Structures are given as C-alpha cells and as structure tokens.
Amino acid sequence: MASGTLASKFTAFLNHPAGPKTIHFWAPTFKWGITFANIADLQRPPEKLSYPQQIAVTATGVIWSRYSTQITPVNYNLLAVNFFMAITGGYQLSRKLRHDYGGEGGAAVATA
C-alpha cells in the first residue's frame, strides 16, 4: 500500500504543471548554479566583487521571488532559488560596500 502511495505521488510530481517535464522545473533548477557560484564567491576578496553583477543578482532575486508567488501554480523551486539569489547578492553587495566605504578597506579608498 505504501508503494502505491509513493507511486501516485511520484506520478503527480512528474505530471505537475511545474514538474520535470516542463521548462518551469528545469530553468530554476539550473539557475541554482548562479546561486552556488555566488556562495563560492564568498571566498573572493571584496575588492574583486562587481557592483553591477551583485545589483543584478539581488534585483533578479527580489523580482522573480515576487513573481513566483503570483503565478499559478506557485513554483516553489523558482521561489527558493530566487530568494537565495537575493540573499547571496545582497550579502555580497554589503561586503563590497563595507570594503569600499568603511570597515575593512574604507580608509584606503578615502586616502587615495
């Protein structure tokens, strides 16, 4: 009986409008690569971070997180990836701002 329930849940997942047979599953799944790359960049020195890139990552995350809650059916994979994009982009942006305008390396910029 448990295997029948598991099989029906798996079938429901496969045939879901945002399931693995659609682009609505695969696009957010591959988009996780951007989030993982941004997490890997936490080891990168702040002076090597790019304002335009991190603003784009943060804005994309915020905009598409909102969008993913408004579409039917709600795409939780899209919501999760974009939420984490916004978080990692915002954190990287704060690292860059702290480095350039205070804290870690702000004095060097002010004297230059």
| Residue found by looking up tokens 């916004």 in the block | 86
pTM check: above 0.75: yes
Q: How many distinct structural domains can be found in the chain?
A: 1
**What would the two tokens of residue 7 be?**
């099989």
Q: Is residue 10 part of a domain?
A: no
Look up the domain containing 62 and give its range: 22-111
- Which contiguous run of DSSP H or E holds residue 14? helix 2-15
**pLDDT tens per residue across span 48-71:** 999 999 999 999 999 999 999 999
The pLDDT confidence band at residue 72, using thresholds 50, 70 and 90, is: confident
* Helical axes 51-70 vs 76-101, angle rounded to 10°: 150
Q: Is residue 68 part of a domain?
A: yes
Contacts of 93 (CB under 8 A, 6+ apart): 49, 51, 54, 55, 58
Q: Is residue 47 part of a domain?
A: yes
Q: Is residue 86 part of a domain?
A: yes
**pLDDT tens per residue across span 23-54:** 889 999 999 999 999 999 999 999 999 999 99
Alpha-carbon distance 85 to 34, whole Å? Answer: 8
